[in-house]
Amino acid sequence: MARTKMIRRWRRNMEVRDDNAYVERLATLSEGSVNRNFSPYQDIEWDDPAFDVIPNDPRWVLTNSDPVGRHPWYQAQPLEKQIAIGMWRQANVAKVGLHFESILIRGLLGYAFWVPNGSPEYRYCLHESVEECNHTLMFQEMVNQIGMDVPGMPRLLKWISPIIPLFAVPTPLLFFFGVLAGEEPIDHVQKAILREGADLHPIMERVMAIHVAEEARHISFAHEYLRKRVPTLRRRPRFLLSLAVPVTMRVLCSAIVKPPRSFWREFDIPKQVKKEIFFKSPEARQMLSDVFGDVRMLCHDTGLMNPLARLIWKICRISGDASRYRSEPNRTHLPIAARPLAAAPQPESIPA
């Protein structure tokens, strides 16, 4: 009896056509997917000589927006090593991105499988899946072009990756918070790198610009989805969700942002430096907090911020002010030392 009630509630939650405002917002997002989308092999000139990956190209040096790039240990390394670390890091970020997106696609398709006929969620989820498939193609091509055999996600997460999309059907709210836990940090770092305006390799620049443009829509959908449903949750599941959200954010963010073990071994990076970068230094702590300003706003607005949840946000070290509106620029800025990038030699002047 209880089970039938639960299934009935689950089915009812899938019906959204009575909410005109939500239907309209989803229609706008779907139209956006039709009118503004990118193809990895038409919109990126992989064969253009300007896109060649050449040895010792300083455009791969990590910038201040990257947690590794802003650390004094990294900045004190010889240029060749900074370039090698930069290439490995960027290739791995792309690989982690595609691993994450592969999990997301499986979850979205699983969710869409059950939505009723006529639901605007079906169309939007499929548009987003198509875009994410294109992103995985684009990211894998970037890894191949860079030519570094990077592992991507940490091993444990790869092993449990087939299980994660299964949450999308019985517990879609937790799944979509998980989506934000992956999309917000990647988007935050990519936007910061683009805003910095450093001289980037065209592969990086193009891939990131395309990704940021389409990701805005995906993040919007996850916010819309959660804003519609979380406030209608009964008290107990809402309380449990409020505790699970900060833990999900912190665990997934660390898994996505932190390079895997082989990175630290390969470049002989001291343990202390690793600790400072993720996440002991004040800059690293600030970044961790900044990444989730929009999610904190979402939790405030949907009743997921109670005293115990607040404490968990604090324990996870991702607490802070909530954004006043989505994508609000950070209000707290820590001074970052100026980079000696201007002095970096041009590719042809560096011995291969």
Q: Are 38 and 210 in contact (CB under 8 A)?
A: yes
Closest CB to Fe ion among residues 83, 207? 207
Decide if residue 70 touches Fe ion (CB under 5 A). no
Where b means 16+ CB within 10 Å and e means fewer, 238-274 reads bbebbbbbbebbbebbbbbbbbbeebbeebebeeebb
Nearest one of 37, 12, 31 to 234, comparing CA atoms: 12
Closest CB to Fe ion among residues 41, 116? 41
Decide if residue 135 touches Fe ion (CB under 5 A). yes
End-to-end CA distance of the chain: 72
Q: Is 5 exposed, middle or buried (0-12, 13-18, 19+ CB in 10 A)?
A: exposed
Q: Judged by CB under 5 A, which stretch of 26-34, 216-224, 253-261, 338-346 contacts Fe ion?
A: 216-224
320: left (phi over 0), alpha (psi -120 to 50) or beta: left
Q: Judged by CB under 5 A, which stretch of 62-70, 211-219, 263-271, 332-340 contacts Fe ion?
A: 211-219
Closest CB to Fe ion among residues 135, 188? 135
A 10 A CB-CB count for 343 gives 8
Closest CB to Fe ion among residues 29, 85? 29
The verdict on whether omega for the bond into residue 113 sits within 30 degrees of 0, i.e. cis, is no
Smallest gap from Cβ 111 to Fe ion, in A, equals 14
Cα gap 202→151, rounded to integer Å: 23
Task: At 25, list the tokens.
Answer: 């917002």
Q: Which residue is nearest to Fe ion (CB)?
A: 218
Smallest gap from Cβ 105 to Fe ion, in A, equals 9
Smallest gap from Cβ 211 to Fe ion, in A, equals 6
How many H-runs (helices) and E-runs (strands) does the chain carry?
14, 0
Closest CB to Fe ion among residues 57, 215? 215
Smallest gap from Cβ 284 to Fe ion, in A, equals 24
Candidates 99, 123, 217, 218; binder of Fe ion (CB under 5 A) is: 218
Smallest gap from Cβ 164 to Fe ion, in A, equals 15
Smallest gap from Cβ 121 to Fe ion, in A, equals 16
Nearest one of 317, 350, 201 to 251, comparing CA atoms: 317
Smallest gap from Cβ 152 to Fe ion, in A, equals 14
SS3 277: helix
Dihedral over alpha carbons 315, 317, 323, 329 (to 10 degrees): 180
Decide if residue 95 touches Fe ion (CB under 5 A). no
Smallest gap from Cβ 151 to Fe ion, in A, equals 19
Closest CB to Fe ion among residues 74, 225? 225
Q: Judged by CB under 5 A, which stretch of 168-176, 208-216, 229-237, 269-277 contacts Fe ion?
A: 208-216
Cα gap 58→346, rounded to integer Å: 7
Binding mask 105-134 for Fe ion (x = CB under 5 A): ------------------------------
Give the residues lining the site for Fe ion (CB under 5 A). 135, 215, 218
